[in-house]
Amino acid sequence: MEKNIAVIWGDCSSPEIVKQTIRVLDKVAEKYGHTFHYTDAAMGGEAIDKYGDPLPQHELDKCLAADSVLLGAVGGPKWEGLPGEQRPEKGLLRLRAGMGLYSNNRPAKIWPQLAPASPLKPEIVAQGIDFIIVRELIGGVYFGNHETHTLASGEKQAIDSMPYAEHEIERIGRIGFETARKRRKKLCCVDKANVLDTSRLWRSVMHRLQAEYPDVEYSEMFVDNCAMQIVKNPAQFDVIVTENMFGDILSDEASMITGSIGMIPSSSLGDGTRGLYEPIHGSAPDIAGKDIVNPTACILSAAMMLRYSFGMAEEADAIETAVNKVLDKGLRTADNMSEGCTCLGCTAMGDAILAEI
Ligand SMILES: NC(=O)C1=CN([C@@H]2O[C@H](COP(=O)(O)OP(=O)(O)OC[C@H]3O[C@@H](n4cnc5c(N)ncnc54)[C@H](O)[C@@H]3O)[C@@H](O)[C@H]2O)C=CC1
Ligand SMILES: CC(C)CC(=O)C(=O)O
Ligand SMILES: [Mg+2]
């Protein structure tokens, strides 16, 4: 098959992991007889530097014309001082909205070989860590009004609103129920309904949907309790459905209990098959340019692209099996290293995964 992939190289450590990911995709294309056409698209800091805009229309158009988009991450200290609308991260938000990607799926599944890298007690890990966070991606406070006023007192006041309409909740709620139905049939809606009207609206929509999924065990949990339960008893979770900011925060926490944020991929989809595939982590500026960054999360994100957007399940399996074999051999990167293992750099980890495909 021929597929067009828009590649956003990203900022700081991101080009290092995207390079290894392209190597893996090319190996898969060679082995399975596919042709992947790559179109570079600038977004984030790179786009600001080139065009003065974190996502120019012509770069968004490249992404909309592709079969899917591969992204590392954007942002970094160089652009920290910019106003919100001009920051690299705003380009990412505009990309997600521009592509209509309302469903961000973030797995939290531990590779058994990485149990020693988890900060949790072995007996907690042994009970199993295998859940997925279904995060609403283009609503809520990341997309609400942002205002800064000067009060009568002369001091400034900033306000960020968190809007959610019923249709926005219903479409992600359905993804949550459908995902749970294909897994262990447990869905937990995580919110702050004891404080927020948006959360109370979430619950009213979820209760309406619940009637359509009698086979799914549905529950609700306040987000602060969930943050604690993820470390106390992660085995209780199968699918978590939650709003944008809560999902952003909980998924980073969930990644750590599986051994490292450097291992967790994500898919972002809307109503079609064109998706955005990116690791859940950021641009890791603190380790940029040192060949330290773990490319695995980005490589596994590409595997998700093959599986969910291209219908290439066998090819996706080949990548995931290669990662498993690398871990079996005791090969690690600095972020998930443990005693008795061999620590590789970014490029060497790419080499190791390539060798197993
Ligand atoms: N999707 C995206 O483009 C995202 C971008 N960001 C941006 O990234 C920049 C840095 O943000 P941080 O809060 O530091 O988050 P971060 O996820 O980039 O880094 C957090 C910590 O995890 C480590 N880390 C992250 N990914 C790693 C990997 N693959 N291998 C090894 N270590 C890894 C970093 O070295 C750092 O110590 C900021 O500009 C932020 O806005 C943050 C999150 C997502
Ligand atoms: C930088 C944010 C806009 C995105 C983020 O943190 C995430 O999607 O994980
Ligand atoms: Mg995040």
**How long is the chain?**
357
Q: Is the residue at 357 inside a domain?
A: yes
Distances (CA, A) of 8 to 44, 77, 78, 238, 354: 9, 19, 18, 31, 21
For the segment 47-66, what is each residue's pLDDT rounded down to a tens digit? 999 999 999 999 999 999 99
Active site residues: 142, 192, 224, 248, 252
User: What percent of the chain is predicted at pLDDT more than 90?
Assistant: 100
Indicate if 260 and 278 belong to the same structural domain: no
Q: How far apart are CA 76 and CA 116, in angstroms?
A: 31
Phi-psi region at 220: left, alpha or beta (left = phi > 0; alpha = psi -120 to 50): beta
Indicate if 116 and 259 belong to the same structural domain: yes
Ligand 2 atom nearest the C-alpha of 104 is 8
Q: How far apart are CA 270 and CA 254, in angstroms?
A: 24
Q: Which of the listed residues 246, 264, 282 is the one where a domain comes to its end?
A: 264
Strands 342-344 and 331-333: parallel
Indicate if 341 and 281 belong to the same structural domain: yes
* Ligand 1 neighbour 262 (Cβ under 6 A): yes
Is 314 annotated to bind ligand? no
For the segment 134-186, what is each residue's pLDDT rounded down to a tens digit? 999 999 999 999 999 999 999 999 999 999 999 999 999 999 999 999 999 99
How many helices, marked H, and strands, marked E, lie in the chain?
12, 14
Q: 3-state DSSP call for residue 223?
A: helix
Q: How far apart are CA 146 and CA 159, in angstroms?
A: 6
For the segment 310-340, what is each residue's pLDDT rounded down to a tens digit? 999 999 999 999 999 999 999 999 999 999 9
Question: What strands lie across the sheet with 239-242, from one edge to the other?
Answer: 35-40, 2-8, 68-71, 276-277, 267-269, 103-109, 130-136, 239-242, 186-191, 217-222
Q: Is the residue at 269 inside a domain?
A: no
What's residue 23's pLDDT? 98
Nearest CA to ligand 1 atom 35: 284
Ligand closest to CA 286:
1
The answer to ipTM > 0.90 is yes
Q: Is the residue at 27 inside a domain?
A: yes
Neighbours of ion ligand 3 (CB under 5 A): 248
The Å distance, Cα 137 to ligand 1 centre, comes to 18
Q: 3-state DSSP call for residue 125?
A: helix
* 34 backbone dihedrals φ, ψ, rounded to 5°: -105, 165
Indicate if 116 and 253 belong to the same structural domain: yes
Ligand closest to CA 300:
1
Indicate if 354 and 219 belong to the same structural domain: no
Indicate if 131 and 259 belong to the same structural domain: yes
What's residue 327's pLDDT? 98
Distances (CA, A) of 238 to 85, 187, 268, 325, 333: 36, 7, 19, 26, 28
Is 88 annotated to bind ligand? yes
Indicate if 208 and 351 belong to the same structural domain: no
Indicate if 129 and 69 belong to the same structural domain: no
Q: Is the residue at 104 inside a domain?
A: no
Counting the structural domains of the chain, the total is 2
What's residue 288's pLDDT? 98
Asked whether 73 and 288 are in contact (CB, 8 A), the reply is no
Q: Is the residue at 105 inside a domain?
A: no
pTM value is 0.98
Across the range 107-128, mean pLDDT stands at 97
**Residue 124: which CATH number?**
3.40.718.10
Strands 146-150 and 156-160: antiparallel
Across the range 247-263, mean pLDDT stands at 97
Nearest CA to ligand 2 atom 6: 248
Q: Annotate 111-138 with b (16+ C-beta within 10 A) or e (fewer).
A: bebbbebbebeeebbeeebebbbbbbbb
For the segment 176-190, what is each residue's pLDDT rounded down to a tens digit? 999 999 999 999 999
Indicate if 229 and 328 belong to the same structural domain: no
Mutation choice for ligand 2 from 143, 246, 248, CB with most ligand atoms inside 8 A: 248
Domain that holds residue 67: 1-99+274-357
Cα–chain center distance at 129: 17
The Å distance, Cα 140 to ligand 2 centre, comes to 13
Indicate if 248 and 139 belong to the same structural domain: yes
Q: Report the pocket of ligand 2 as residue ranges, CB < 6 Å.
A: 89, 92-93, 248, 280
What's residue 349's pLDDT? 98
The Å distance, Cα 349 to ligand 1 centre, comes to 19
The Å distance, Cα 131 to ligand 3 centre, comes to 17
Q: Which of the listed residues 198, 232, 264 is the one where a domain comes to its end?
A: 264
What's residue 101's pLDDT? 98
Indicate if 26 and 140 belong to the same structural domain: no
Across the range 249-273, mean pLDDT stands at 97
Q: Which of the listed residues 264, 293, 324 is the one where a domain comes to its end?
A: 264
